[in-house]
Structure formats: C-alpha cells, structure tokens
Amino acid sequence: MTLLPKARPAEGRWKKIAGGFAFLQLKKEMQMEPALKPLDMTLDYCEHFGLERPPFNDAVNPEFFYRTETHEAAFVKMMMCARRHNALGLVWGRSGTGKTLLTQMLLAGLPEEEFIPIVILANPGMSKMGLLGSILDELEIARPSGRANTQALLDYIHSYLMQTYSMGQRVVLIVDETHFLSADQLHMIRALTNLETPQEKLCTIILLAEETFLRRLRHKRYSSLRSRIALSAYLTSLSPLETEQYIKFRALVAGSAEELFDYECYEQIHVATGGICREISKLADNALMEAYLRAESRVTKEVVEYCRQCSILGI
C-alpha cells in the first residue's frame, strides 16, 4: 500500500506544533524574567551619585557661591561702598567669573531696614529713557503720564531718593552688564551720582562689567565718571587649588557625602577651562552626566577628557 508513508508528514506536523508550544513556553518564561532596569533619564544623575540636587547648574543661586579671595574682596568692597554712602563702585572681570552671582550676594547681604537694593540688567538696545524707566520700574514708581523727557524721569527718581533718605533708607543701584551701556547711558549714570544732599550722596551705584569696559573707562570723555569711583575690584579666574575647592564645595552643598571626581580630574578641568567658574561648572556637569551614563561611581580623567573633546566650544 502506497498510502502508509503519507503518515510521516503528520509526525512532522506534530513536531511543528510541539515546537510551537515550546516557543510559547520559552516566550512565557522570558517574559517572567526581570528585565534590565533602564537608565531613568528623568532622575538625571543625582540619585546615582547620592546628590540632593545638581551641583553645577547654570542658575544663579547664592547657596553655591564659592568665595575665593578675590570674590570675598569684591563683596566686602561693594558692601563698604554702600555703607559709606559712596557714589560709585566697580567690579570687573571676564565673562563667567561670577559677577552676576556676586550681585545676588549683595542683594542678600544689604540689610533691608537700611537699603533698597535694585538690579538693572543693561542690554545693547537700551536707551537713556529705557535706563531711567527701568530704574523707575524697579523702584515701583509710576512713570509720568504723557511724553516725558529724561529730566522729568530724573526728577521723579530724585524725589523718591529724597523721600527714602528722610526715612533713613538709601537706594543701592546695581547695574549688571555695564559694558553694554552707551556713552549717553553712562552720562545718565553720572547724572544720578549728582543727586545729593549738602552732606552726602542720595544713592550708591555699583557697576559690574567685563574687562572691555575698563578700556572704555580710561578714555578722557569718561574722566568725570571715573573720578567718582570710590572702590573697585577685579574678579580673577580660579587657581588650580581654587578650582578643586570650587568643585568640592558645590558638590558638598548639593548633598554629596563622597568624592565625585578622581584626584587627577581637578588639574585637568582647570587647564581645560582656564579657571573660569562658568566653564568649570559646565565641564564638571557634563562629566557627571557621562559618568552616570557609563554607570561609573566616580568621574575619571578619561571621562573628563571625553567631555572636553565633545565640547561644542572646543575648550
């Protein structure tokens, strides 16, 4: 009979079915096995390194203000400038050396019962009227109705300064990014320093600027403004030791209980950033993120070098 051998495909069919059951069983077992836990990108690297918050955020937070000798000197000088009722104080330094953070420290350090500190952020498009208007806005003084000129705005400010002076308070005007101010705006700053009583100036103005502003200030057209500067301070970049202490300090404030960086990393970061605070923070932050992605417990010099090479600025 030639039909009997045809039964063999049925055996193959059962094998396929059995194989199907085996596959399903294997799939079921695989589903029951715990999957590898993926990196939770929403947690950033803080949980991985035992931190309460990121230590190198670019946000201005006075808690993370690391006081080097030059930063401490600048802070003390500007506080003295306000307390001695001087007309002008000046802090200058390269971009990223901590001028804006110093501003926040001054705001927190000036006693509110004695001073009314305000901050004006200068910008390249600001006019004379815009500068005086910003001061009125920060002092919460209603601007004059109708079309007002600069003298009208100065009169409003003068009236407010006299009122606060009679109540035992002084306005401290902090102008950040002063290097953006034009010659006309600097003339307005000088005009504000002329507001005084027979005994003393009615307000103190603290200018924070980049190094380029100092070159402008040396020009003879600014001799009158320059002569009014009672105290000045220069914010330098950090030394190798200060760079190490800066990184450790910020990590400590963020909740770190252990060393996050291998010792060799500190010199490496200092050389790569030139000791500029903002650049140190950026490279250190990138290095922590890269170490986290590699599931490493500390930042190594290999990680720092990789982040340096990947920097879009080519530091």
Cβ atoms 149, 193 nearer than 8 A: no
DSSP code for 50: T
Residue whose pair of structure tokens reads 């103190």 in the numeric block: 204
Q: What average pLDDT is seen over the chain?
A: 85
pLDDT at 312: 59
Domain(s) of CATH 3.40.50.300: residues in the chain: 67-235
Mean pLDDT of 212-217: 91
DSSP readout, 160-220?
Answer: HHHHHHHTT-EEEEEEETGGG--HHHHHHHHHHHT-B-SSSBSEEEEEEE-HHHHHHHTSG
Max Cα distance, the chain (Å)? 132
Mean pLDDT of 18-42: 43
Residue whose pair of structure tokens reads 């010199």 in the numeric block: 267
Pairing of strands 115-121, 170-176: parallel
- pLDDT over threshold 90, residue 125: no
User: Does domain 239-310 bear CATH number 3.40.50.150?
Assistant: no
Position with higher pLDDT, 12 vs 286? 286
Global confidence as pTM: 0.80
What is the share, in percent, of the chain residues with pLDDT greater than 90? Answer: 70
- pLDDT over threshold 70, residue 22: no
Q: How far apart are CA 149 and CA 126, in angstroms?
A: 15
Cβ atoms 113, 125 nearer than 8 A: no
Q: How far apart are CA 226 and CA 221, in angstroms?
A: 10
- In the structure, what pLDDT confidence band is assigned to residue 12 with cuts at 50, 70 and 90? very low
User: Does domain 67-235 bear CATH number 2.40.420.20?
Assistant: no
pLDDT at 314: 52
Domain(s) of CATH 1.10.8.60: residues in the chain: 239-310
Residue among 274, 264, 278, 265 at smallest CA distance from 307: 265
- pLDDT over threshold 50, residue 212: yes
Residue among 205, 183, 187 at smallest CA distance from 81: 205
pLDDT at 36: 36
269-313 residue pLDDT tens: 999 999 999 999 999 999 999 999 999 999 999 999 999 998 755
Residue among 202, 186, 256, 168 at smallest CA distance from 86: 202
Q: How far apart are CA 43 and CA 54, in angstroms?
A: 10
59-85 residue pLDDT tens: 788 888 888 999 999 999 999 999 999
Provide Rg for the chain, Cα atoms.
31
What is the share, in percent, of the chain residues with pLDDT greater than 70? Answer: 85
Positive or negative torsion for Cα 7, 9, 12, 13: negative
133-190 residue pLDDT tens: 999 999 998 888 777 889 999 999 999 999 999 999 999 999 999 999 999 999 999 9
